[in-house]
């Protein structure tokens, strides 16, 4: 009898232990989340995106009149060397402000892939290497780049006087008198051809400054427009909202089991949220992820060179053309300027609408979304610098599920249609 009691007690203990072990190792149901996991998901929810931060370097950043002027400038092909290229050539609203090419084709071929501008007004850095510290400073660069719009500062200043004087002066005050073509050549600038550069250098310093102020105003107006370009809520956001309300049935009807399991990998063993976090799914940082180079392409040093360029940029937050007060420009004052981790590092893009914005990476070298997932799974050793990736060793099924989740981030923009079309 005693042996029987001992046996029964032993069986009870074994059953209890088995129950604990089963609970610990069992796979959760696709839509079964702990309160802690839901809290993590809420940090990725678009509804948690705070107000757009002010730009102290641009006093017209949130002026509707500036946005209207910037809208017109964004689509105006006259602001180019050949009269055929505008900002919208490479940042097409119909393609979520990308152009669908590995490298853009404008006046020439660009050196890097054109990233989407959707939501980037929330970022402190611009371009893949972060060589600009404001959206208005970034807007100026393509207009002079020989491979992009390819024009010059005096050319653009003359166009503003000819076609946008009223709108411009309402925002920035009186335009300079540029009628003397000996003082203000038709085409002169620091990034033009040899003759245009020489003409720029021959101008009086105060005349160059007057043109620079017109040019900076153009960038500030374009930035005011671009600040309106924001992502809209996706199925993923609807899913998180349902979970937050405790409506599991609505959540289960919003994402499939595979999509939800892909989300679980995304925030868990995939370590994706190490960099792709927050409601825009980017930490706005710079990382080397060992990207392959297309044949014939030289190594791109990325952030370490970009930060050097940003510090000496004539239109940065500390420049005479910035509206920032003393004590502003904290990002610029405390920016990291050296370290192995900056070599070959590029900006973390938002994953909002990622499935709609192929190809991927700074050279557009990965053509499809599955290729991105495969790259992160392999975590190849970079040609130079320190990689921030470790091999994930995911199964094929797990990679399919991550891709399925990423496709739930697609959604129409929250920007009114008026801003997504060329102005009349």
Q: What is the pLDDT of residue 385?
A: 82
Q: What is the pLDDT of residue 91?
A: 98
Assigned CATH class of 64-226: mainly alpha
**Domains of the chain by residue range:** 27-52+233-302+343-416, 64-226
Render 313-345 in DSSP notation, one character per residue.
Answer: -TTSTTSTT--PPTT--HHHHT-----GGGTTB
> What is the CB neighbour count within 10 angstroms for residue 309?
14
- 84: pLDDT strictly greater than 90: yes
pLDDT in tens, 245-260: 999 999 999 999 999 9
- 1: pLDDT strictly greater than 80: no
Q: What is the pLDDT of residue 417?
A: 96
pLDDT in tens, 316-356: 999 999 999 988 998 898 999 999 999 999 999 999 999 99
pLDDT in tens, 11-63: 443 444 444 333 344 467 999 999 999 999 999 999 999 999 999 999 999 99
Render 86-126 in DSSP notation, one character per residue.
Answer: -HHHHSBGGGTTB-SSSS-BSSSB-SS-----TTGGG-S-B
Phi first, then psi, for residue 287 (nearest 5°) are -140, 145
Whole-model pTM? 0.92
Query: Same CATH fold, 64-226 and 27-52+233-302+343-416?
Result: yes
CATH architecture of the domain covering 27-52+233-302+343-416: Orthogonal Bundle (1.10)
């Amino acid at each position: 009898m005693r042996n029987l009691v001992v046996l029964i007690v032993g069986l009870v203990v074994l059953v209890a232990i088995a129950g604990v072990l089963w609970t610990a190792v069992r796979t959760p149901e696709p839509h079964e989340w702990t309160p802690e996991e839901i809290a993590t998901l809420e940090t990725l929810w678009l509804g948690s995106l705070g107000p757009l931060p002010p730009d102290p370097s641009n006093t017209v950043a949130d002026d509707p009149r500036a946005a209207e002027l910037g809208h017109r400038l964004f689509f105006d092909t006259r602001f180019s060397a050949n009269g055929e290229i505008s900002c919208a050539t490479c940042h097409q609203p119909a393609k979520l402000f990308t152009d669908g090419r590995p490298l853009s084709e404008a006046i020439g071929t660009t050196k890097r892939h054109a990233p989407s501008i959707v939501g980037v007004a929330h970022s402190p850095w611009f371009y893949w290497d972060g060589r600009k510290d404001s959206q208005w400073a970034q807007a100026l660069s393509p207009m002079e780049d020989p491979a992009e719009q390819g024009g010059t500062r005096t050319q653009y200043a003359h166009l503003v006087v000819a076609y946008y004087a009223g709108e411009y002066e309402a925002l920035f005050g009186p335009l300079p008198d540029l009628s003397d073509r000996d003082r203000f050549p038709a085409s002169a600038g620091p990034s033009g051809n040899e003759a245009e550069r020489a003409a720029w250098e021959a101008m009086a310093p105060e005349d160059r400054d007057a043109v620079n102020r017109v040019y900076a105003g153009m960038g500030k107006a374009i930035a005011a427009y671009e600040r309106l370009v924001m992502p809209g809520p996706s199925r993923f956001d609807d899913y998180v909202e349902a979970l937050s309300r405790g409506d599991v049935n609505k959540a289960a009807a919003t994402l499939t089991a595979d999509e939800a399991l892909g989300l679980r990998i995304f925030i868990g063993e995939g370590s994706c949220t190490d960099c792709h976090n927050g409601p825009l799914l980017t930490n706005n940082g710079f990382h080397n992820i060992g990207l392959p180079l297309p044949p014939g392409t030289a190594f791109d040093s990325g952030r370490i060179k970009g930060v050097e360029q940003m510090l000496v940029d004539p239109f940065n937050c500390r420049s005479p053309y910035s509206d920032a007060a003393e004590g502003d420009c904290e990002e610029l004052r405390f920016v990291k300027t050296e370290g192995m981790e900056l070599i070959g590092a590029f900006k973390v893009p938002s994953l909002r609408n990622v499935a709609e914005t192929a190809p991927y990476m700074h050279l557009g070298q990965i053509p499809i979304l599955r290729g991105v997932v495969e790259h992160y799974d392999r975590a190849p050793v970079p040609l130079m610098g320190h990689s921030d990736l470790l091999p994930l060793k995911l199964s094929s099924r797990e990679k399919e599920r991550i891709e399925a989740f990423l496709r739930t981030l697609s959604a129409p923009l929250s920007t009114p249609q008026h801003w997504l079309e060329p102005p009349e």
